[in-house]
Chain A
Amino acid sequence: MFHKVLIANRGEIAVRVMRTLREMGIGSVAVYSDADRTSRHVRMADEAEHIGPSPSTESYLRIDRILDAARKHGAEAVHPGYGFLSENAEFAAACEDAGLVFIGPSAESIRRMGSKTAARRTAIAAGAPVVPGIDHAITLEEAREFGCAHGYPVLLKAVAGGGGKGMRAVEREADLESALRDAASEAERAFRSGEIYIERLITKPRHIEIQILGDRHGNMVHLGERECSLQRRHQKVMEECPSPLVAQHPEMRGEMGQAAIRAASAAGYYNAGTVEFLVDQERRFYFLEMNTRLQVEHPITELATGLDLVRLQVEIAAGARLPFTQEQVAWRGSAIECRIYAEDPYHNFLPFPGKITRLTRPLGPGVRIDGCIYSGWVVPMEYDPLLAKLAVWAGTREAAIERLLRALGEYDVSGIRTNIGFFRQILEDVEFRAGRLQTSFIDEFLERHGPPQPPADLAAVAALAAALHTLARNGASPTRPDSASQWLQAGRRELLR
């Protein structure tokens, strides 16, 4: 087993990996940019190395500096976390060339699963279902033929694309010609390539993904699904295991699990990975893409299966065989996670970095927080707004929802804005409680609901607190001076800093 591992990441995932390393008796090396000197992952690590200025292109994305840090500290392996260099085949190869073990799949597997079209070809070859479509640049005539054969609506996508640019949904054949022209010209401007391909449009799909885990000896299992349909701007915000749909149709877990294993095996995959599927309203599932790394939402799988995925990743990287078979994987109860972001859900989800002036975390039964924040920390404006992941486990989905509501109510992050209140609204929603989830759920939810309206009694209490606070600030003591004056003075000093 390794003695020391470098974590090529920051924030909550670096902290998450270090926790397991410490439990395994493995030393951890943090890397940090200028903005992260006082970040939790640096304070928590056994060793730490500065790798450059705040912009990630000059620090967390610099392969050379990360490898230098690993050499300097004598690390034997590198955990990439998620984001940054985690799905960069060149980085995985560079680690191996430098004599470091990359805790993840091979560079070759990352290449084969990294590009959407290459992954799609691998999935087709492995017999995994994909959304019907034509993989190469099409002409209007080909698009018409496809529409006739597969029916409408269809989706036009840029071959070189991403981020929704050059993408058009077409409801009927009459609109096809103009849509193709618009999509091609938009793609031309965005990617200097006007090539467009076509797929059948899956309306109101669910996004359900399968966690897989394989060793370097040819064994692979799936660890079940995660429902990730709650998204905003293609970013997941809340995930659960089991999926409410799969809970109703338990045979889906095995079917999707086997399809995921087939696709990943075809790419010679090992270590942890996630195969994403779209599921249509007839419960047919289609391979979407593969994430060749540990997923942000991995804690819910850990809560439902009782496994530590990071420990398994490290053991597999060190050459161990999978310590269990598919038959030995068991799921228990229900786990839900929400991603706590520094953003203002009631002002168009604008990011809101800044200093955390007070922090109270939820505690108690069935609550897990993967976070990196602390009171007094200034959340940097240079990186992702993810502050923490709050996950709960309970015996049933209903109990997990009540537990998550309870935990969110205990969560107080002051000084910045967060989406904590927004999650409480979603969890109270009838559609959510019924498990009727799909990828446009949040957009439709926002159309149905405005900001939450507080009960009148709460407004009176808030007004009283604000009034007492203002009067205290202006000289009148809001409480007995003998019992609280020093605390109040300290508090005022703190607030006025």
Chain B
Amino acid sequence: MKLLLTINGAENVIDVLALAPACRFQFGDAPERHAHVETPEPGVYSVLMDGRSYDACVEETPNHLVVSLNGFRFEIEARDPRRWSPKAAGRGGDGVQTIASNMPGKVVRVLVTLGDAVEAGQGIVVVEAMKMQNEMRSPRAGKVLSLSAKEGATVAAGEVLATIG
């Protein structure tokens, strides 16, 4: 079973040849490897590989998986390459840019209205969390095509607030 993984921004392919517990897999160009895998707790993968013991914790977020391992954090997006299509991945194609909240919080100000012409770098929405305000700016000049942000609304990290095209 092949999966296309985007790990901290870099694309890799993993081929799982045998499932857990006696797992066999091929990662990138490396030769086939064996690993013994158990899930002692939900979302926790105990991996024994080449005599070493690893505890990988997997959590699901709206956009990707987060794997914590030995104090390192991996943001991983996994896709089945057979189902992968350029259209699905090309959100924001034709130069349309989405403005997504980069932290969970509350929308305290919406600085534009639908249809407004905006400059590159212009503030679109201000999100606040834990006494810190963060202004989301437009990455390009264009028009506000959609605006889902509402003042007072709670937003998740990665939630789309507006699109600019």
Instruction: Name which of B52, B57, B156 has the most chain A CB atoms within 10 A of its CB.
Output: B57
Which chain B residues border A115 with CB–CB below 8 Å?
none
Say yes or no for B157: interface residue by CB 8 A criterion: yes
Say yes or no for B54: interface residue by CB 8 A criterion: yes
- B69 adjacent to A458 (CB under 8 Å): yes
Provide the bound-state CA to CA distance between A354 and B65, in Å.
16
Say yes or no for A152: interface residue by CB 8 A criterion: no
Say yes or no for B114: interface residue by CB 8 A criterion: no
Given A350-B132, A478-B20, A488-B39, A465 and B69 contact (CB-CB distance below 8 Å): yes
Q: Which of A409, A452, A474, A495 makes the CB contact (< 8 A) with B43?
A: A495
Stretch at the interface among A60-68, A191-199, A236-244, A377-385: A377-385
Please report which residues of chain B, range 120-154, place their CB below 8 angstroms from some CB of chain A when the two chains form the complex.
128-132, 134, 154
Min CB–CB distance B118 → chain A (angstroms) = 22
Say yes or no for A291: interface residue by CB 8 A criterion: no
Q: Which of B3, B43, B130 makes the CB contact (< 8 A) with A467?
A: B3
Min CB–CB distance A215 → chain B (angstroms) = 36
- B42 adjacent to A488 (CB under 8 Å): yes
Q: Which of B21, B25, B71, B105 makes the CB contact (< 8 A) with A381?
A: B105
Q: Look across to chain A and name the residue whose beta carbon is closest to the beta carbon of B101.
A: A350
Provide the bound-state CA to CA distance between A463 and B15, in Å.
10
- A463 adjacent to B5 (CB under 8 Å): yes
Min CB–CB distance A391 → chain B (angstroms) = 18
Which chain B residues border A414 with CB–CB below 8 Å?
43, 57, 59, 66, 68
Say yes or no for B60: interface residue by CB 8 A criterion: yes
- How does the 8 Å CB contact mask read for A438-475 relative to B, with 1 for contact and 0 for none? 00000000000000101001111111111111110010
Provide the bound-state CA to CA distance between A461 and B65, in Å.
14
Please report which residues of chain B, range 65-87, place their CB below 8 angstroms from some CB of chain A when the two chains form the complex.
65-74, 76, 78, 80
- B69 adjacent to A492 (CB under 8 Å): no
Q: Look across to chain A and name the residue whose beta carbon is closest to the beta carbon of B130.
A: A351
Given A465-B69, A467-B78, A469-B65, A353 and B130 contact (CB-CB distance below 8 Å): yes
Q: Which of B19, B39, B102 makes the CB contact (< 8 A) with A347?
A: B102
Stretch at the interface among A103-111, A169-177, A479-487: A479-487
Min CB–CB distance B156 → chain A (angstroms) = 8
Provide the bound-state CA to CA distance between A382 and B104, in Å.
12
- A487 adjacent to B19 (CB under 8 Å): no
Interface size on B, residues (CB 8 A): 60
- B69 adjacent to A408 (CB under 8 Å): no
Say yes or no for B16: interface residue by CB 8 A criterion: yes
Which chain B residues border A491 with CB–CB below 8 Å?
39, 41-43
Say yes or no for A344: interface residue by CB 8 A criterion: yes
Which chain A residues border B157 with CB–CB below 8 Å?
352, 354
Which chain A residues border B67 with CB–CB below 8 Å?
462, 465-466
Say yes or no for A267: interface residue by CB 8 A criterion: no
Say yes or no for A189: interface residue by CB 8 A criterion: no
Which chain A residues border B16 with CB–CB below 8 Å?
464, 467-468, 471
Which chain B residues border A46 with CB–CB below 8 Å?
none
- B43 adjacent to A462 (CB under 8 Å): no
- How does the 8 Å CB contact mask read for B153-165 relative to A, with 1 for contact and 0 for none? 0101100000000
- B3 adjacent to A470 (CB under 8 Å): yes
Which chain B residues border A457 with CB–CB below 8 Å?
49, 52
Q: Look across to chain A and name the residue whose beta carbon is closest to the beta carbon of B128.
A: A381
Provide the bound-state CA to CA distance between A477 and B23, in Å.
12
Which chain A residues border B134 with CB–CB below 8 Å?
350
Which chain A residues border B103 with CB–CB below 8 Å?
344, 347, 350-352
5 closest A-B pairs (Cβ-Cβ)?
A491-B42, A465-B56, A351-B130, A454-B72, A470-B78
New contact pairs (14) apart from A463-B5, A467-B5, A471-B19, CB-CB < 8 Å: A351-B103, A381-B106, A384-B130, A385-B130, A458-B70, A461-B54, A461-B56, A463-B76, A466-B78, A467-B1, A471-B1, A471-B3, A484-B39, A494-B42
B residues at A contact (CB < 8 Å): 1, 3, 5, 7, 12, 14, 16, 19-21, 23, 25, 27, 30, 33, 35, 37-39, 41-45, 47, 49, 52, 54, 56-60, 65-74, 76, 78, 80, 102-106, 128-132, 134, 154, 156-157
